[in-house]
Amino acid sequence: MTKVDERQLECHSAGRRLVRAATISFSLFFIAASAGFAQTPQKIIDQYIQAEGGARALGKIQSVAISGSLRAVAGSGASAADGSAPQSGSYSLITKSPNKLYSEIIIEPRRMIAAYNGKSAWGQDFSTGPRTLTGNDALRWEFTAQYLNTRLLNAKKDKIAARLSGMDSVHGRFVYHLQITFAPGITRDVFFDGQSHLILREIVNMPVQSSRSAAAPDAATSSGSSAASPQPVEQYDYDDYRSEEHTS
């Protein structure tokens, strides 16, 4: 699996007394769990949109460029190809409204590219040259382009289902874990900060074959699990969010 740290965060904690630490941990867990039961997937998404600047501001974004560092975990990508230790590299992503995307991972001397031009997808991995993507591979990048450009603004209209998988912790912060389903077998796990409501982690899952249809958005609060367990292939960690002022 490839891990992408677009902004790095280090958290350190130390307990004073065991009894006090246990009491605080229990209290925080109780409060977090109580808050989780009051949340719904749509409410979590609405809070995220507001935290990002609101629907009106997000709707005006025409293009986004992101770059960061990555670490290829043993068992995937370049590390798996030659059996070597995990390697570091760079990552870049460009999106353009309404549904275009270009993604590039470089682990010298290899590079992996995936793109969607609004009509079709193409890619290049570490072992093959450029090729047109088909089937679930093409659907994955089509829906990725849609997701990254719309930022869940029109989740119901786009028939994107969201299910609350539970509460979790990322970098020591309490998060709500939503599983987003774009189409049968096409999913992404998204972790929303319980305080700032911003996204702290995203896990992209390998497309899986499924005969089941995607859940309707209104049924997204179901706690049931899908028939096939998604396998993560990419993980993105975010932090150090900063405000940006635009006059145009």
Q: What does the pLDDT read at residue 201?
A: 96
Q: What does the pLDDT read at residue 41?
A: 96
Confidence bin at 175 (pLDDT 50/70/90): very high
Residue reference for tokens 């299910």? 163
Q: What does the pLDDT read at residue 6?
A: 47
Q: What does the pLDDT read at residue 224?
A: 43
Q: What does the pLDDT read at residue 236?
A: 87
Q: Could you tell me which of 146, 147, 145 has the C-alpha nearest to residue 178?
A: 147
Which phi-psi region, left, alpha or beta, contains residue 118 (left: φ > 0; alpha: ψ -120 to 50)?
Answer: left
As given in the structure block, the two tokens for residue 71 are 């670490």
Q: What does the pLDDT read at residue 108?
A: 87
- CB 216 within 8 Å of CB 201: no
Q: What does the pLDDT read at residue 59?
A: 93
CA triplet 214, 219, 220: central angle to 5 degrees? 75
